[in-house]
Chains A and B, each alone.
Chain A
Amino acid sequence: MTLSRLPCPPGLMGATVFYWGWQLKLWPIGLICAILLEAANRVPWRINISEKQFIRLSDLTAVAIVVTGAVLFQNYSSDGLFYLVQWLPAVMFVILAAQYYSENQLIPLTAIAATLRKRARLDPSVANKSIDLRLPYVFMTLIAASVGAPRTQIFYYLSGILILWFLWGVKPRHRNPLVWLLFSGLALSLGFVAHIGLNQLQGTVQELTTHWFRADWSHRNFNRNSTAIGYIGRLKMSEEIIMRIRNNDPATFRASTLLQQAEYNRYSGGSWHADDRSIESLSKQSELNTWYLSDNIPATGRQLNISTYLRKGEGVLALPRESYAINYEKSADLNINKYGSVRIENAPNLLDFAVNYGVKHQQAEETTDKDLEIPAVYTKLMAEVVNELGLDKITPIQATQKLQNYFDENYKYSLIQDQFGLVLSPLSHFLRKSRKGHCEYFATAGALILRAAGIPTRYASGFLMSEYDPERKLFIVRQRHAHAWTLAYIGGHWVELDYTPSTWAALEAESAPWWQDIYDMVSHLTHATYQWWIAKPRNFMDYVLVIGLFLATIYSLKRIPFKEIKLQWHQKTENKKSTVIPGSDSPFYKIIKHLEHNTSPKEPGESIKVWLLRISNSYHIEMVELQQLVDQHYQIRFNARNNGVVERDSFSRNVESWLKMHAQS
């Protein structure tokens, strides 16, 4: 019994697999796979694969999918799932090839899932069922190709041809091919319009959603920061969790905090720069396991416990601006630059540390002329805005507040960048025309406008700690929480001014993908495992566990029946020769062929007489003569010794004369 009765049209499998390889720029692999699969229909060789061997191959394929998925997910986060889809045809090729080259060209249903095996033990009907994976594989390959294909229109047409190729195979026999072609053309056109419409719909939806671009956050350069100002299109987002933070202060345990990585004082050509590049090495106070970032220690401070990943054990730490001490048990090298950015080196890839911060003593901070510098291209524009708002005629505090109101009332948050044209620069376009942009626009524009009003400013970048996980009682900081804001020098201190509309965090949270919860669960699990492995000192049981897992994997791999498969090759044609059907050379088969071609074909299991009776009514076939011929055919076919009842030569002559008589009709 076969579950799928759908025919796979000849050549479709090969064409699809080759198409997949071509779209992924791996056409030699696609070509080889396509030839191997299509050749199965031409060569007489078959492998005798038992049900048990199919089960093992299926298990191996499942393990391969899980391992590939885990590796890709670990390396590429949620993008890894798409890579997995892209590579599924390759991972599943072995089981499909096994089906193609097996005797029955089918896979036992019990090979698909362990639950089916359990059911088959209780229900014999399940044990006898088989499944044909060819068409599901064709469509899976097509979707895999779509994941890795370059954005060209040709993809749509070629995919359409492959889908219609499949549909041609299932077209009802009595339907007019011309009408079918009309239907196909209509479907292709409608599909084309639909996918263009989907594109436009996505554009509209994008305006309502917010995302953040993916950046190499831990390797932020604290001397130079290239912004995405002027970038056209949509900024990519990432859900990757990069920090888990526990706030131990009960009074502020759910308060949002800006975590600054770096600050810059000069804007030029779409990038912010830190002019003073000097760095200072921090020394650890061993007995306290503490690095002091500043001598200015407040009387009362707060503490955050931060767990974060580092790439190759180094990166720039995201800390509250008022941080004064870092507490970390293990050894590491810490450097601090002139603007308070802390870079860590020679640390493990998972860093669990505590940072102390709090309002420092009223001690004046430094400012330089660079904090008032405006690029020449923007001088006029900024002066116009200052005049417009009258910022130079009010106090700095009033000016910062007025600018805040101005942005809140007239500007929108968006990650979609329009075409700027040739006349306006991106920042001018933002301020004067589009009036929408992401936080870098607001932070940069805010800093430059305040500078034009005579207030020293800087540009700060880092993350907003705002997503609180009540279940785990900690803050989660994702890559999409990356943020930029303005620092203004007011009253002898640098004050944080966030001009980005406050809705941005809520908007981007709403646009979180559906798999975020699954991703978070896996991420927390990975983090906990990593923490256990990296942070905890190794003991004997840890090594036993790892070695056990390794041995289990080796044992599973050894179960693959490579040798058995090699040994059991045999020729398909030999089987055919060994079973000679008596009477299979009866001349009557010519009449059957003729009638099948011109009338309705004989159904499987339908006897010749019943079939002839059926078609004689519909096609007005004279039955008397045919009846005699059928009786003679039955003698040849089923009376093996024939007992001289039917003389072959005269029977052949009768058949030929019947065919001759009915050839024209």
Chain B
Amino acid sequence: MFRQGRVRNFERVSRVSRWFRRRFTPAGRLVLAVIIASGVIGVDISRNLSYQIFSLSVSLIGLAVIFAAFNRCKFSCTRTLPPIATVGEPIHYHINISNTASKLQSDLLIVDQLELQSPTEQELHQFRDPQSVQENRFDRIVGFPRWDRLAKIKTGAEVPTQRLSEVSANETVKLQLSLTPLRRGYIRFQGVNVGCPDISGIFRSFYRQTIKEALLVLPKRYPVPYIQLPGQRQHHQGGVSLSSSVGEAAEFHGLRDYRPGDPLRHVHWRSWARTGKPVVKKYEDEYFVRHALILDTYGQSTSKPQFEEAVSVAASLVLNVADQESLLDLMFVDRRAYRFTTGRHTADVQYLLEILACVNPEYHQSFEPLAQLVRHHSGQLSSAICVLLQWDESRKTLVNALRVLGINVVVIIVTETAHTKTEKDELGSMDGQQQFIHWVQVGNIEQGLARLAHVQGGFS
């Protein structure tokens, strides 16, 4: 019964609390505390005179609210955001505040408002909060601090309020604000609110300016040792179909006699003049080595942190692999199967990171669509890195199929719990070859990835 509608109540409590914190200055909050204390103690006015303090405090608050309604302050605000940010890395940005009123304003409160995202009951239930160990029993039972932290994570960040001592008439002040993104994806900014205290300094009126902007937050990346991916051609068909330049992308190979049908532009005029018979330039199609980064997004039995770490691992590998002279296909399923290619004039590595910033876990489908996508493109691949969340039969089948095709495979399994060597052996039993399977544990990802230094020899 207690849990029914608790999320809605948490939202209300949070909204009211936010309203009080912004509207009342610290002095105003102290006066409110006095109202509560004197109200409780002086509820029976025949006992003592606390009700007189109560009356005066209520009058002060009441008048301050009325005076604040007439306290018209006018500002013009602009925000300058960096193009991208990274989870967990603090960023600094600026807000320019111009006082367009004809008089000086002091003791201002600047609130850069984000679009708030409230968690659902299900999300709250699934949220595993490492900070809950710090909570007392009451907080753990009620769950409001946990909800609050989850709401901040869903919103993306928390921008601390800033105080501005004064802005003269027609003056512009540049304020530096900072925030630390708590999740990847877009953080949406709504507007800038400027709070001006009333004459008594206990209640604020607000000037609001809507400035809607979005900041893309990339996944967290870990240092990954340089991985030398094998690059043999493996009889690939075709060349680069997504070349950035128009025309044929081919490598000069030599000269040969003209055969009917050869294009005139391939005629080597100087050789024709020297030999007296038509000679054409012979080209060899350019084949690039193509690697695949396969991201497992099926999260039915996985936790949110586990999925987030898998995305971070994928992002770290993207940076590592994309530096090499090869193409990299990122394959995953988010509602439907996707394949994005980068490298060699196709797209920048930034492009894949932005995609990874927005990828979501898939709760409803089976692993099969991703397996189909990989199988479909397997003919073009030289090697594949699979970032998996589980190690079950369907995943083993896919990896087996790739290996049978002669594709070099590295499997990175992101787990939440540490597995013993025996367990790993049992879970990873595939033809007795486990060298290409790497287990990395949530909370210990960096050390886990550092072990990939041995991967060069790990490709079979």
Contacts and interface: CB of A to CB of B under 8 A. Distances in A.
Interface string A109-150: 000000100110011000000000001100110110011110
Contacts of B58: 191, 194
Contact of A600 (B25, B55, B63, B166): B166
A190 B52 contact: no
A143 B199 contact: no
Interface stretch (A195-203, A272-280, A482-490): A195-203
B301 interface: no
B364 interface: no
A174 B104 contact: yes
B56 A122 contact: no
Contacts of A192: 55
Given A143-B34, A146-B50, A163 B60 contact: yes
B133 A195 contact: no
A155 interface: yes
Interface string B167-210: 01101010000000000000000000000010111100000000
B55 A187 contact: no
B134 A118 contact: yes
For A172, A179, A614, the residue with the greatest tally of chain B CB atoms inside 10 Å of its CB is A172
A183 interface: yes
A191 B59 CA distance: 5
A472 interface: no
Contacts of A183: 63, 67, 199-200
A167 interface: yes
Contact of A139 (B33, B45, B48, B62): B33
Given A123-B134, A190-B59, A4 B49 contact: no
Contacts of A190: 59, 62-63
A85 interface: yes
Contacts of A184: 200
Interface in B1-49: 25-27, 30, 33-34, 37-38, 41-49
B105 interface: yes
A199 B56 contact: no
B49 to A, nearest CB: 4
B158 to A, nearest CB: 14
A170 B60 contact: no
B345 interface: no
Contacts of A198: 45, 51, 54-55
Given A156-B56, A173-B106, A190-B62, A167 B27 contact: yes
Interface in B332-377: none
B431 to A, nearest CB: 47
Interface in A579-617: 600-601, 603, 614, 617
Nearest to B108: A172
B419 interface: no
Given A167-B201, A600-B168, A155 B52 contact: yes
A82 interface: yes
B163 to A, nearest CB: 9
A172 B103 CA distance: 13
A234 interface: yes
Given A82-B48, A173-B107, A146 B53 contact: yes
A4 B26 contact: yes
Contacts of A188: 56, 59
Contacts, number: 151
A61 interface: no
Given A115-B136, A174-B105, A155 B49 contact: yes
B165 interface: yes
Contacts of A163: 53, 56-57, 60
Nearest to A166: B27
Given A163-B60, A183-B63, A143 B44 contact: no
Contacts of B104: 174
B55 A191 contact: yes
Contact of A149 (B49, B103, B134, B200): B49
A180 B134 contact: no
A538 interface: no
Given A167-B202, A174-B106, A190-B59, A159 B26 contact: no
A88 to B, nearest CB: 11
A198 to B, nearest CB: 5
A85 B47 CA distance: 13
A160 B53 CA distance: 8
Contact of B44 (A146, A156, A160, A513): A513
B106 A172 contact: yes
B199 A170 contact: no
A171 interface: yes
A600 B165 contact: yes
B171 A617 contact: yes
A5 interface: yes
Nearest to B163: A5
Interface string A518-544: 000000000000000000000000000
16 contacts: A135-B30, A136-B30, A143-B37, A146-B53, A147-B47, A155-B49, A170-B27, A170-B201, A174-B104, A179-B199, A183-B200, A191-B52, A195-B55, A198-B51, A202-B46, A618-B171
Interface of A: 4-6, 82, 85, 115, 118-119, 122-123, 135-136, 139-140, 142-143, 146-149, 151, 155-156, 159-160, 163, 166-167, 170-175, 179-180, 183-184, 186-188, 190-192, 194-195, 198-199, 202, 234, 513-514, 600-601, 603, 614, 617-619
Lowest 5 CB-CB distances: which A-B pairs, in order? A191-B56, A618-B168, A195-B55, A194-B55, A191-B59
Given A82-B47, A147-B50, A191-B55, 8 more contacts: A143-B41, A156-B52, A167-B201, A170-B200, A172-B197, A172-B201, A202-B46, A603-B165
